[in-house]
């Protein structure tokens, strides 16, 4: 996630994202069947938990080198 030091709202946004990745996703991971993910958060989302019922994954704005890093 990009950081903007001059934006006073951004720390709140980080707190919300942390809660999403650390609490919400792990509690609903077994219900997720489809994820559409943007490049800035793909690694954190994929590594935050296991998705046993995931059958479709959409990746957006993902560079080839980043994809190679994630999937090799």
pLDDT digits (tens, 9 = 90+) for 60-69: 888 889 888 8
Here the tokens at position 56 are 């479709």
The single-letter DSSP state of residue 21 is I
Here the tokens at position 41 are 């958060």
Tell me the three state secondary structure of residue 58.
Answer: strand
pLDDT of res. 7: 52
pTM of this structure: 0.69
- Domain assignments of the chain as residue spans, ordered by start: 30-72
Which stretches of the chain score pLDDT less than 50?
Answer: 1, 3
- At a CB cut-off of 8 Å and minimum separation 6, what does 44 contact? 21
């Amino acid at each position: 996630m990009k950081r903007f030091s001059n934006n006073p709202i951004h720390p709140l946004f980080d707190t919300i994202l942390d809660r999403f990745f650390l609490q919400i996703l792990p509690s609903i991971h077994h219900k997720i069947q489809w994820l559409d993910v943007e490049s800035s958060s793909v690694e954190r989302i994929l590594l935050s938990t296991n998705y046993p019922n995931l059958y479709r994954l959409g990746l957006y704005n993902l560079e080839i080198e980043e994809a190679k890093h994630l999937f090799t």
